[in-house]
Each structure stands twice: as C-alpha cells, then as structure tokens.
A = this chain, B = another copy of it.
Amino acid sequence: MSELRQDPVTGRWVVIATERAKRPESFSQRHEKLVRTKAICPFCYGSEDMTPPEVLAFRPESGKPNTSGWKVRVVPNKFPAFTMGNKSEVSMLGMQENLGIYLRMQGLGVHEVIVNSPDHFKSLALLTEDEVGLVIDAYRSRLLDIKNNPGVEYVLIIVNHGKEAGTSIEHSHSQLFGTPIIPPLITEELNGSRSYFHEKGRCVFCDILSEELGLNERIILESENFLVFSPYAARQPFETWIIPKRHSANFESISSIEKKDFAFVLKNTLLKIYDGLNDSPYNFYLHTSPYKVDTGKFYHWHLEIFPKLSIQAGFEMGSGTMINVAFPEESAKFLRNF
C-alpha cells in the first residue's frame, strides 16, 4: 500500500510509492560523473567581452570592470527570458493586451547570470565556504538592487547543475529571474502559509522546523542557524530543504553571521550530493518573499534542492501530483552519513 503525504504549506499531496521504492544506494549509479571539458568559455577569465557588461563583480584587487581578477561576476543573460526593453515597452509595464479570447503581456523584467567563481572546474560543492559566501553576497546584493525596479514583482534565484538539469554552460553559475508576475508556486506558498497563520497564529515553516527537530528522522545537517532536511512530503528522491531557524520572510535580511553559516550548510549539503550521489545533476532555487507583499509574519524564506534522479512522466504531468519512489526518511539518512 503506497502512502499519500500532504505538504503542510501548500496542501499538495505526494504519493510515496512504497511498492516501487528504491534503496538510496541505487540512485547514485544513475549517471556518469560530470566531466568538464574546457574549450572557450564565456565565464572564464579573459572572456569578459563575450558577455554583456557586468552589473556587479567582486574584485578584491579593485581592477577595471569587465576584466579578469573578479571572484564573482554578475552579467545580464545574453539570451534573456525577461528584459527591461525600451521606453515605449516599459510604458506597457503590467499591461495585458487582448488577442481575441487570449491575454498577453510583454516579458518585461530581469534575467542575469551570476558566475559563481572564476574556476571553470569547480561547482559550488567544491568551492571554499568563503567563496560560497561571496556568491551569497551577490544574491543578496542583486535582490536589494532590483527592489528598486518597479517592473519586477518577484526575484527567483536558481542553479542548474549538470546537463540533465538543464545547464548549457558547464562553468558553475547561478541565474536570477526578475519576473513581472508573482510566480504561481510562490502564490501557493503565500496562500498556504497565510491561512495557517490566520488559523493557528504561527508560521507554518517554524512549526515544520520544531517538528523536524523533535522527530529527528529526516534531518540531514544542522547548524546553529539552519536546518537541512528532507521534507515530509518530498516530491522526488533526495529533495532537500535548507531553512533558517530564525523566522524571516526575506532572504535579503540575512545577517552576516547567518550568511557565513548559510555558506557552510549550502556548501556541505551540495558536497553530500557530490559524494553520496556521484555528483548528481541538480536544480536548486531560493524561495523568498515578493518585494511588495507584506509577508513578514507568515512567510519564511528557504532553499529547495532537487537532485535530478527521476523523470516526471505522464502521471505527474497530467495530475500535478508527484510519485516519489524514495522514502524521505531513507534519503535523509543516506545523505546524513556523507
């Protein structure tokens, strides 16, 4: 008998398919270890003119913009999903046009690439904690800057690691999307956590934190300021969440102590995936509050990591319900030991 589990934030059900459940070890052999073959790379030192001019770079030696010597470099995406457009386009901000029975909007917004390190061969798992700290600084700095852009309703920061996870350039990078709408999955989390707060007077994410700390069966890593765990209603094998212990809706409000600790847990969680799952491809994304919605009491920022070890097939696509062939308790136990 399989088991349906409900995510307490969004109310979505997940099927934990016990009849077809696989042992954690069986996932690590699924793919070839990523082999990086450096040809001409737009994200390496010396290729700075292959990208649009940088919008941010950390240069300890204070060199000129768009030259080498940087530690982290942020540039507009060359093939953007969202762009700010020209004046007349910007004047259309948020305007929906009718096309017969259909509605369209312009793709106004921001799409940037954060080059995580000058090292072509190192993913985030292999950088030092200080280097990962700089990437986090870049996330925070761009989030604060883009806040002033009236056309951006939400900023989603993501990493795609490995070809199967959708990367086209192997040099480790993050992407930032400033979107003209609040994405539906964020709306779902906001609605769920708002209702929970109205009903119980507490943050649902804070309650999850206490529950997981109390149960201690899905914890992967714990630090002073963060908990890393497999969620109860994990949608995929080895789905992993990193959540700050302090209630905080906005990632931008991270303190410098928390930032240092976040670099530690992020690096070490990704290292567990690197070691335990044979450098599996993965996606991660940061869920933080929209700029213009007052979510301070009920929302709680976090990061969700999905090793790419299963395929979304017809059932998942047609129903919106995921079938997970691994128990989150076993996924957590497996990663905990790396």
Interface residues, chain A, with chain B CB atoms under 8 Å away: 1-6, 8, 12-13, 15-20, 79-83, 85, 89, 96, 99-108, 156, 158-160, 164-167, 175, 177, 179-181, 183-186, 188, 207-208, 211, 214-215, 232-233, 283-287, 304, 306, 311-315, 317-321, 323
Residue of B nearest to A167 (CB): B313
Is the beta-carbon distance between A311 and B166 smaller than 8 angstroms? yes
Is the beta-carbon distance between B320 and A183 smaller than 8 angstroms? yes
Copies of this chain, count = 2
Is the beta-carbon distance between B103 and A6 smaller than 8 angstroms? yes
Is the beta-carbon distance between A319 and B179 smaller than 8 angstroms? yes
Is the beta-carbon distance between A166 and B313 smaller than 8 angstroms? yes
Main secondary structure on A side of the interface with B: mixed
Is the beta-carbon distance between A13 and B181 smaller than 8 angstroms? yes
Partner of A101, one of B101, B207, B286, B311: B207
A298 CB, nearest partner CB in chain B, Å: 15
Partner of A166, one of B99, B180, B312: B312
> 6 new A-B pairs (CB below 8 Å) besides A18-B107, A184-B319, A306-B317?
A12-B184, A17-B107, A19-B80, A160-B314, A175-B314, A183-B318
A31 CB, nearest partner CB in chain B, Å: 13
C-alpha spacing A326/B105, complex, angstroms: 17
Residue of B nearest to A79 (CB): B20
C-alpha spacing A324/B60, complex, angstroms: 39
Is the beta-carbon distance between B4 and A180 smaller than 8 angstroms? yes
List 16 contacting pairs A-B, 8 Å CB cutoff, sorted by A.
A2-B81, A2-B106, A4-B105, A4-B106, A15-B107, A17-B81, A17-B107, A19-B81, A158-B313, A160-B313, A160-B314, A166-B312, A285-B315, A287-B318, A306-B317, A312-B312
C-alpha spacing A3/B104, complex, angstroms: 7
Is the beta-carbon distance between B313 and A165 smaller than 8 angstroms? yes
Is the beta-carbon distance between A315 and B158 smaller than 8 angstroms? yes
Given contacts A19-B79, A101-B8, A166-B313, contact A319 B106 (CB under 8 A): no
Q: Which residues of B contact A317 (CB under 8 A)?
A: 158, 283, 285, 306
Partner of A102, one of B5, B285, B323: B5
Q: Which residues of B contact A183 (CB under 8 A)?
A: 318-321
